[in-house]
Structure 1
């Protein structure tokens, strides 16, 4: 056998023990890199899962959220070409480890807003401890005001700006900027390292396994999100509301401490791998059966003088550029779901943030894992020609567009909010009955009259005069502004003709649940099918990026793809869809005249804006996939690279050198 050694072997510095060398294999690296991807994906999804909670905590509108998320892409735009070009020919595991360390630091920064601002006065005021401290010596009027009851003697409140600050969004932007460094190094160096250190016929299967491990991460991220958001933002306090209350703020900050610690562990493990892994290849039949150690000369790292030439070489590669742009439009079309899926489920199906994460996340992501694994095994075993492999992506894209169009029609019924006219999207929560209750400046705190399934802006707007507590649940009574004729409710133009009555039953906190039937189940089934097919085409696109370029340009091509995707998809995507979602908002939170987060959306407008826009953008990606299929019809996907020829053999000391 002829043994080709890796440079220096496993370890760091002078720490390179013999027992560690047995882990210098593609499988070991794939396992560590895959598990690292799991943790990175956990962090990404945990951020998405806690996004709406952060919006409520710091009063951040969705448009601003899109700008905060752009920090990741900003750093990728600024650094991806340089990092992928410079790191591609150097010690890739070591550079990758530094990237993971940066990712860990970004998690610490995401914890910083809670460390600086705490849980917030609004969240604290909804706890048992706060009530016990402030109920003593309060007048009946003050208690009624604090509980949001109808009070003719309500006093004018001074403006309080404590919960609103530009610092939390800036910290999130900074964390995303630093995270982009780690993302760049991971995507541009990790997968090419696997491809360079394994047989080309095994690459699809190993990529499938790696992507599957990365996809398990989001499922775990959703679970962590559920567990953290099920705890109150300050776990040491006892909340007087439950998770279904729209004012509930979970412990969004807790998961970042765990994720930062996990990333630091993987940064150390990745750094232990050598620059190149040892390979074992059959000896030439002409050479006597003797073991030779072949030490190929280390390639010279690229200089920055060669950078423009290499970049020009990639930009002139039609197949590579079209393949990158097809991915751009797919990601741009899907960015609304990627960023706002938790909010989508909360609004359309009235699930809590915790329920959205637990129910939707693991089920859909399991379908993606199966798609990666099945496609990886099938491609490695049957080696479909480029025509069939890339043609499959076109079919997948068409099905995805049809799925996005179908999502436009899947939702629960609209919430019957008293004072909101869905026909012209006008609102008027004040009427002749509650005009004297002092409800003008109250925050949105919906209450539900189950009889008739009517939701009121607040207990005050329903004219409620009494409060009844039962543990975390509280109900309201003696509500005098209940419309007699419920059928005419949505028609604001005839508001003066309403007849009001006093309701002696109990009015509950929160929205009235809207009938859903099988809508949520249908959403899960359709989403699973779409994501299974979508993930099955991912490996084909990655192989095109690897095989359409010279081996020396492989990491650089990944860096170019990351740059263009960041610039044209990841940055504008969340901003575009955030603005579309904001346009469907009916009730905005405000403090001191400043607009905060949205409390109530027009479901139909939200759903239509997101899904139809996504379908239109994805259609462009499908067309470009058709062009990729044509240009790449003769691409050599599975050919093994020939090892360098031996020009001279020296048997002394059993070593053969070039």
Structure 2
């Protein structure tokens, strides 16, 4: 029964044609596509959520902390017990957890509804009546008297949603990777992992593209807010993508559950129907399926005595901070640095990821399968690519656009906030609750809002916003340029975004050419029965040293680069204006420093990778090496046969069965010396 498709006693003959590694790889890839799409969809809508609910980058970091909190508690357990529990069953619950995560993420919209008040802060969709902007007394916005702000509630809900996501990610990564690797021949592993990785990369593209599509509609698609998509008050339908992903995840959960506990080992034929007789009858245990009994702590100690695994693990933890940190903030960085809308920024990133990453993964996987380089060469190539990435990060520090020429930023107040209020707007009790910029073409300057521009009234005349009695706008200069001030940011002629996209695409291509090789190194550096445990340890430590630090570090960089904060009931909310030059150097400089430290441990991994053996070849059931079938070794003695069976569990059967010398002189998959 463990080798037949179905659930319980429902294992019909028709389903057995799907009990193949190729079919599972396809279904598993679709699940990973949706999982990745959900992850990157959050990054695509992140800036929209921040504007809608007044979330700072620190709040986003706390939300993303949930991605690491749940994996920390379950990764070690999943890695330890997945050796005996049905992996498709674990994967089924993982996909269901993703569905629950999507459903919980929609709850803030259900509770608070669309933000219509924000869109009408200055009469953007009003009935045409003039609005008095200069007030003698400060006006307290509605909702400030509540004991708990909507920002706290939304942060808590999204934190809970990410807890489900983090648990699901650990299950999919640990159980899925080992299930695939155990079901295919080692020589075919590069192609299978390349196929999975290539299809998985559709996920980021799907996530960003879905975000771009949904953000083109207003939060309530039936309502016209009367503002443009480039207006900072525009809030797209961020919740819509989660609803669509939940439906797709529910549909893929059932096929995942139907796969057998064990797919057919290479060269073993599986019956096309379930065996008759007692349902309690179990297949005879063979040396190929025997798992050495080993305590948790003993297995953990064995892993950390392996220098290749140890140095690769440290490198992985550091490099993942760079990969995830850049991925988290890339859309927001393009939006801020190059002054584009959230929808357009997501649209730029999606196709860029798909093209460059698929090409890189495909070339990397095909090269491994065709040339079969040694482990030392694979790890050396990875190091070389990381050095190229360091050079690209240095270049990115000098590619950007000029920052916003915001009136009032020339002098800083003692508390660090810019005194946007000038002499001409004094006494109007202006607030930074809403960012409605006004561009003055006379000097290409920007006023934060009509109130800060000294405008006493604002009127909507048949869709045209009329600014009246604006004391801070120089009339003489306006007459010289014959252009009137208008609502919105001044047009930016900077085209450096094209150079930035080209450089980041090159970085993505370089990174993906190493993905398959690095994955194979990680799986071959440990014995076969230790693979699930090794991945569990990796995920558990990633929860502490990767998933926690990267949102805090990169979020802090954006917060420290903020010039104007939203005034949310007297407390800072979302950031409206950034110091783009400071942000550019800090954003790429942090990645440069972390990756440079990672390369140090990567070099140590390269030094020890010469110990890796049996990188591609498989042991055959007959005990003959595939590449020596025409020259079988002499019959083994009884003692050598016993040692051969023991060696099989550590992945060294190929060395034991293909050699004509005694087994004790042969190297195993990894020699701990």
Q: Where does residue 164 of structure 1 map in the other structure?
A: 150
Q: Residue 430 of structure 1 is aligned with which of 421, 424, 440?
A: 421
* Matches of 1:520 and 1:444, distance apart in 2: 24
Aligned residue number for residue 307 of structure 2: 318
Q: Which moved more, 1:160-169 or 1:357-366?
A: 160-169
- Please say if residues 106 and 175 of structure 1, whose CA atoms lie closer than 8 Å, have aligned partners that are also in contact: yes
Instruction: Report what 2:403 is aligned to.
Output: 414
Q: Distance in 2 between matches of 1:95 and 1:157?
A: 51
> In the alignment, is the contact (CA less than 8 A) between 2:37 and 2:205 conserved in 1?
yes
Counterpart for residue 234 of structure 2: 248
Alignment pair present for 1:515 and 2:498: no
Q: Give the match's secondary structure for 1:515.
A: coil
Q: Give the one of 101, 117, 131 matched to 1:144.
A: 131
Provide the rounded CA distance (Å) in 2 between the counterparts of 1:574 and 1:113: 22
Q: Which residue of 1 aligns with 2:279?
A: none
Aligned partner of 1:3 in structure 2 is none
Matched, 1:46 2:18: no
Which of 285, 290, 300 does residue 297 from structure 1 map onto? 285
Select 2:608's aligned residue among 610, 626, 631: 631
Per-residue deviation, 1:451: 3.4
Q: How far 1:640 sits from its partner (Å)?
A: 0.7
Alignment of 1:460-609 (within 5 A): 460-467=451-458, 469=460, 474=465, 476-483=467-474, 506-517=484-495, 519-609=496-586
Q: 1:514-570 CA deviation, whole Å, 9 max, x = no partner?
A: 3313x1000111011001010111222211221111101111111111111221011
How far the C-alpha of 1:175 sits from its partner, in A, is 1.1
Corresponding residue for 1:228? 214
CA contact (8 A) 2:123 2:460 kept: no
Structure 1 residue 262 corresponds to structure 2 residue 248: yes
- Deviations along 1:60-86, one digit per CA (max 9) or x if unpaired, are 110121111010111111110001211
- The Cα shift of 1:450 comes to 2.7
Residues 7, 274 of structure 1: 8 Å contact kept: yes
Alpha carbons of 1:644 and 1:554: their partners in 2 closer, same or farther (altered >3 Å)?
Answer: farther
1:364 and 1:524 in contact (8 A); partners too: no
Per-residue deviation, residues 91-114 of structure 1 (Å, max 9, x unmatched): 111111111111111111111111
Name the structure 2 match of 1:616.
593
1:103-182 aligned at under 5 Å gives the runs 103-120=98-115, 122-123=117-118, 125=120, 131-132=126-127, 143-145=130-132, 149=133, 151=134, 156-157=139-140, 160-161=143-144, 164-182=150-168
2:393 aligns with 404
| Offset of residue 157 of structure 1 | 3.8
Change (3 A) 1:158 1:349: closer
**Given the alignment, which residue of 372, 376, 382 partners 1:383?**
372
**1:328 is aligned to 2:328:** no
Q: Please tell me whether residue 75 in structure 1 is matched to residue 70 in structure 2.
A: yes
Residue 258 of structure 2 is matched in structure 1 by: 272
Native 8 Å contact 2:431 2:567 kept in 1: no
C-alpha distance 441-189 of structure 1, shift in aligned 2 (>3 A): closer
Superposed CA offset, 1:390-443 (max 9, x none):
111011111111111211111111111111128998722222222244435663
Whether the 8 Å contact between 1:477 and 1:505 is mirrored in structure 2 is no
Offset at 1:644?
7.7
User: In structure 1, what is the Cα distance between the partners aligned to 2:463 and 2:189?
Assistant: 55
2-structure distance, mates of 1:474, 1:301: 74
2:15 is the alignment partner of 1:23: no
Q: Which structure 2 segments of 5+ residues have no match?
A: 270-281, 625-635, 637-673
The Cα offsets for residues 347-379 of structure 1, whole Å up to 9 and x where unpaired, read as 101111100000122213321111111111110
From the superposition, tell whether residues 156 and 172 of structure 1 become closer, same or farther in structure 2 (CA, over 3 Å).
closer
Q: Is 1:456 aligned with 2:447?
A: yes
How far 1:123 sits from its partner (Å)? 3.5
Instruction: Pick closer, same or farther for the CA change 1:524–1:11 going to 2, 3 Å.
Output: same
What secondary structure is seen at the aligned counterpart in 2 of 1:455? strand
Superposition deviation, residue 52 in structure 1: 1.1
Distance in 1, Cα, partners of 2:35 & 2:418: 43
Deviation at 1:478, TM superposition (A): 4.5
Pairing 1:37–2:32 present: yes
1:433-489 per-residue CA deviation (whole Å, 9 max, x = no partner) reads 222444356633211123332110111222234546477663535433124798xxx
TM-score, normalised by the number of residues in structure 1: 0.86
Aligned mates of 1:155, 1:397 — CA distance in 2: 54
Task: Note the C-alpha offset of 1:42.
Answer: 0.7
Paired position in structure 2 for 1:366: 355
Q: Is contact 1:30-1:210 (8 Å) kept?
A: yes
Aligned partners of 1:213 and 1:615: how far apart in 2? 29
In 1: Cα distance, 2:397 partner to 2:569 partner: 37
Number of the residue aligned with 1:287: none
CA contact (8 A) 2:417 2:564 kept: no
**Residues 611-635 of structure 1 deviation map (CA, whole Å, 9 limit, x = unaligned):** 1011000011112111111111241
Deviations 1:312-331 (A, max 9, x none): 11122111111111111111
Q: Report the equivalent of 2:169.
A: 183
Q: CA deviation at 1:266?
A: 1.5
Q: SS of the counterpart of 1:131?
A: coil
Go from structure 1 to structure 2 and tell me whether the alpha carbon gap of 1:127 and 1:644 turns closer, same or farther (over 3 Å shift).
Answer: farther
Moved more, 205-214 or 163-172: 163-172
Task: For structure 1, list consecutive stretches of 5 or more residues without a partner in the other structure.
Answer: 1-5, 284-293, 487-499, 648-658
Query: What RMSD in Å do the two structures reach over aligned CA positions?
Result: 2.8
Alignment of 1:635-646 (within 5 A): 635-636=612-613, 637-643=615-621
What SS class does the counterpart of residue 401 from structure 2 fall into? coil
